[in-house]
Structure 1
Amino acid sequence: MKKAYLLLPVFFLASCSSSNDDTDSSNNNQNNNDNSPVLVTKMVADGETSTYTYNGSKISQIKNITNGEVTSFSYSGDLITQQVTTGSSTSYKTTYVYDGSSRLSKKTYSETYLTSGTISTVETNYNYLSGNSVKITYTASFTGSSAVRTGSKTATLNADGSLSSWTETASVPSNTGGFHSATGALQPIVYDTKNVPFKNITGFLKIIDTEDENGSVHNILSYNHVLNYNNGAGSGEWGIFKCVYEYNSSGYPTKNVKTYYNKTGTGVTNSEMNTYEYNHL
């Protein structure tokens, strides 16, 4: 998914520490003005500034002031059905379909390069095996290429329906032709007990299968996903990071420092800082 900094692509080891952690507010929507929900209105993510507008508690638009991209959202009832990002050279579109229990059943993401007209697409389907287990299958393709990537994740959900972990198999196209078979896992995600910045956006918690769309009302403290290519060369994909948060008096993050690690989780590769502003506390 395009990283539009809402539906906060997208690949830790030790649990993170937190500062200003004096309020346990796992379900705390309190504010110091009225009873309207706390909503994020501005985010500075690794130097890029985005503003958020709403229709009630439904997200309507995110505008990236830094690069000019604008993301618009559509709803059916209280469910997010589409988000479209328009940029100067690329556009991004994600559509969401739900089952009769309002659970995400299909997600289709497309990325269009405006100058060439080429399109990359990822289609993801969700089959709920039990109350806390879902099989996630995906197919990724690119205009003009026969090298289609496929994969399957058997995911475990927490009691609140948020993402916990998964095991994964995949067939990944090789740069030299053919495919790599791949196996991997997402280790159980560690969450804090505070409020995720996007907690009160209508429909946000229905989206459950990525780092930033995990269905939790809480913030990720540690995340460890590794997919190994079984090619004898030690190649693969990974997303390993840990976070340190500062919170406001209502238990929402005002600052997040995210540190990324190498495949073994032993060396720092990068870090970024995100800050958040809200309509009120």
Structure 2
Amino acid sequence: MKKILCLFGAVALMLTSCSSDDDKTSSEENVVLLPKTEKYTYATNPQENSIVTYSYDGNKIVSLTYNTGEKTVFTYTENLITKAVYTETYEGAMRIFTTTFTYDNGKLKSSFQVGSANSLNKRRTYTYNANGTISTVTVLINPTTQLETQDSSSTLTLDASGNIVKAEFNDLTTIIEYDTKNNPFRNVLGFTSLLDSDIFDKDVNSVNNIAKVIEKSGAVIEGTTTYTNSYNSDNYLIKSVSGNETYEYTY
């Protein structure tokens, strides 16, 4: 967003001298919105279409509920999300996945997901490196034998706003470009602290909105995905289109 130019002078002078654009920007910076619904449309696979409804206690998210029956309920410790319980019906049976999060001085330290019977548990740890990157290791755990198998590892690079701009997996690299507008969830307490956790059904928990994703294998670009984003008058995302997929938000 543009910085407010009218920083000095009497209030009366500010009101008369600042341009209408600057006044609008000032009001936008003070607007705090929370998404009420997210509508997902998959043009070529309409059976995947869904609507998610979000409920809150102030700026803390209480739950997200899908029109298809799935639901996630959140628990906070102070202003950080420390538990998310996801429920779904699969082949006629209820399945529950509980993810707990730990932090160190406000930074995500680990996540641990426990599933229903016959599903593997999953633990991811985060290490904050001296160069500013974050290393992650994901381990799958057999709930019966407790045998651990490394599933993946990655190195995350963040920009000054805390957006993940690069994720490196062995010889594979994902580069993410963002707009400068407001992610619908940026005002949800604890959202951005979750980094790459997918409990919001998002690839990354960012302040801004994804504009382009570039997938590389070594130096070779394997694929590029672009997003066409639309915003409301307060610069919050209301629609994002990429290929056959569309996300729409109400506030």
1:224 aligns with 2:229: no
Aligned equivalent of 1:107: 111
1:128 aligns with 2:128: yes
Aligned equivalent of 2:103: 98
Aligned equivalent of 1:50: 52
Q: Distance in 1 between matches of 2:165 and 2:230?
A: 23
Aligned equivalent of 2:138: 138
Select the structure that is richer in helix: 2
TM-score for both structures, normalised by structure 2: 0.74
Post-superposition offset of 1:141: 4.3
Give ranges in structure 1 of 5+ residues lacking alignment.
Answer: 1-21, 32-36, 170-182, 229-237, 260-270
Q: Which runs of 4 or more aligned residues in structure 1 lie more than 6 Å from their structure 2 counterparts after TM superposition?
A: 22-27, 144-147
Q: Distance in 2 between matches of 1:277 and 1:76?
A: 28
Which fold has the larger relative contact order, with Cα–Cα distance below 8 Å and residues 6 or more apart in sequence? 1
1:59 aligns with 2:61: yes
Aligned equivalent of 1:38: 33
The letter of the residue matching 1:155 is L
Aligned equivalent of 1:242: 226
Give ranges in structure 2 of 5+ residues lacking alignment.
Answer: 1-20, 42-48
Structure 2 vs 1, CA of residues 147 and 129 (structure 1 numbering), >3 Å: closer, same or farther? Answer: closer
Post-superposition offset of 1:27: 10
Does the 8 A contact of 1:72 with 1:84 survive in 2?
Answer: yes
2:153 partner SS: strand
Structure 1, 189-198 or 85-94: larger mean CA deviation: 85-94
Aligned equivalent of 1:190: 177
TM-score for both structures, normalised by structure 1: 0.67
Q: Distance in 2 between matches of 1:240 and 1:93?
A: 33
- Point out the structure with max Rg over C-alpha: 2
Structure 2 vs 1, CA of residues 28 and 214 (structure 1 numbering), >3 Å: closer, same or farther? Answer: farther
Q: Distance in 1 between matches of 2:215 and 2:108?
A: 22
Structure 2 vs 1, CA of residues 144 and 239 (structure 1 numbering), >3 Å: closer, same or farther? Answer: farther
User: What is the CA RMSD across the aligned residues, in angstroms?
Assistant: 3.0
Q: Distance in 1 between matches of 2:233 and 2:212?
A: 23
1:50 partner SS: strand
Structure 2 vs 1, CA of residues 254 and 227 (structure 1 numbering), >3 Å: closer, same or farther? Answer: same
Q: Distance in 2 between matches of 1:27 and 1:220?
A: 24
The letter of the residue matching 1:163 is I
Post-superposition offset of 1:87: 1.2
Count of matched residue pairs: 212
Does the 8 A contact of 1:60 with 1:73 survive in 2?
Answer: yes
Does the 8 A contact of 1:127 with 1:136 survive in 2?
Answer: yes
Q: Distance in 2 between matches of 1:143 and 1:193?
A: 43
